[in-house]
Amino acid sequence: MLKFAVMASGGGTDFQSLIDAVEAGQISAEICCLIAGKPGIYAITRAQDAGIPVAVVQKKSFDSMERFDEAILKTLQEFGADFVVLAGYLSIIGEKTLAAYPNKIINVHPSLIPSFCGMGMYGSKVHEAAIAYGVKFSGATVHFIDGQADTGPIIMQAVVPVSEGDTPQDLAARVLETEHKILPQAVALMAEGKLETEGRIVKILK
């Protein structure tokens, strides 16, 4: 059975969706660790409640991006991670970690990429931008990462309607509910070896 690490920077609701899916037998893989972007986040509590090991690797503790990257990679290797899932993780993954895990690092973003994504577009900012633009649909995207912000090959997307009078909080709640469905689905496919990438195209194998 494969092992995967989860990386999170906040409350960890997407992380919880993965814990629940593993416990329900919907994902045929083991969560080997949580790498927390900072101490004190609720994702750590979720990991502890589920008996999942936790490592806090904080970017500001390192004097360079290279050393931070090396610490992330070392942690992943120590826990034996076969692949990685970013679940509300806000730091850019470095070159050494990317090279060690090519098309093996999955991220979830709260919009239909390539809309409302990129540097600085996270959390409520995404939903504020979608509403301000006047789009009728938003959604969630699960994708591989490639070293830039939200530019890697797309694995799965789901559409969420934007209703008249929506606040960013209203839209965020519906998008988050969708994230909790498609992220475990994508991770399950990854665990079963059913994702094949050709350039920008991700094929789901039968």
List active site positions. 109
What are the residues whose beta carbons fall under 8 Å from the beta carbon of 121, sequence distance 6 or more? 111, 129, 149, 150
| Interatomic CA distance for residues 157 and 94, integer angstroms | 25
CA distance 80 to 5: 9
Q: Which residue, 183, 103, 170, 174, is CA-closest to 141?
A: 183
- Radius of gyration of the chain measured on its C-alpha atoms: 16
Local structure of residue 193 (DSSP, 8 states):
T
What is the helix (H) or strand (E) element at residue 29, kind and residue range? strand 29-36
